[in-house]
A and B are shown apart, each in its own frame.
Chain A
Amino acid sequence: ETGVTQSPTHLIKTRGQQVTLRCSSQSGHNTVSWYQQALGQGPQFIFQYYREEENGRGNFPPRFSGLQFPNYSSELNVNALELDDSALYLCASSLAGQGATQYFGPGTRLLVL
């Protein structure tokens, strides 16, 4: 059974650019959630995807968007990057109906210069 994987592990972008982060769910899991974790803070919920539809969103602007694919993998896209977007981005997978029991990937560390 493979765990949650994320790519890339690290990324450096400049302000105004766009970025796409990728996540592969744990085998058998059909729900994906994304989190942003700034240095020294707890993870903040961005949104959750189930059956390729957004299924709940946190307090993040529309320039944060996502996709979920038929194989349950997912992408997080961030447009018009700002310096404050520098953070660890975490993906977590779960089963529908057990969405709060989540299994996290190692994260992608994004630095915006």
Chain B
Amino acid sequence: DAKTTQPPSMDCAEGRAANLPCNHSTISGNEYVYWYRQIHSQGPQYIIHGLKNNETNEMASLIITEDRKSSTLILPHATLRDTAVYYCIGAYQGGKLIFGQGTELSVKP
């Protein structure tokens, strides 16, 4: 399983884009990049995943560099409800999740 590195905390102004970086230089060719978030006292929530191409869904966009050594999760218009711990995880599509410490995102008014 790939080791990922994320900044421990970030701030973002409400209404602005939140860009959360993740380094995963040891990710293997078949491992996907998954993003989850955990709002305080709740279970983690799946956000998005990708292998090589950029991905977008109703929650976020995922930009993966061409060498696959890093990625960025983009929340286009952050709201106060997006305040959470965001986890970047390298995993095989049928595999288990190994959570790190994640990035604590604070969205401020």
Q: Chain A residues in contact with chain B, CB under 8 A?
A: 4, 33, 35, 41-45, 48, 56, 58, 90, 92, 96-107
Contact = CB atoms under 8 A, between A and B. Distances in A.
A90 B85 CA distance: 16
Contact of B99 (A43, A48, A103, A105): A43
B32 A100 contact: yes
Contacts of A106: 42-43
B39 to A, nearest CB: 11
Main secondary structure of the interface of A (DSSP, over half): loop
A107 B43 contact: yes
A43 B98 CA distance: 8
Contact of B94 (A35, A98, A107): A98
Contacts of B92: 100
Contacts of B28: none
Interface of B: 32, 34, 42-46, 49, 85, 87, 89, 91-102
Contact of B87 (A42, A90, A99, A107): A42
B93 A43 contact: no
Contacts of B98: 45
Given A101-B49, A107-B43, A42 B99 contact: yes
Contacts, number: 65
Contact of A90 (B43, B49, B95, B96): B43
Contacts of A48: 96
23 contacts: A42-B85, A42-B99, A42-B100, A43-B97, A43-B99, A44-B99, A45-B96, A58-B96, A90-B44, A96-B94, A98-B94, A99-B94, A99-B95, A100-B32, A100-B91, A100-B92, A100-B93, A101-B34, A102-B46, A102-B97, A104-B43, A104-B45, A105-B43
B99 A99 contact: no
A41 B102 CA distance: 9
A100 B97 contact: yes
A37 B85 CA distance: 13
Given A42-B87, A90-B44, A105-B43, A100 B101 contact: no
B102 to A, nearest CB: 6
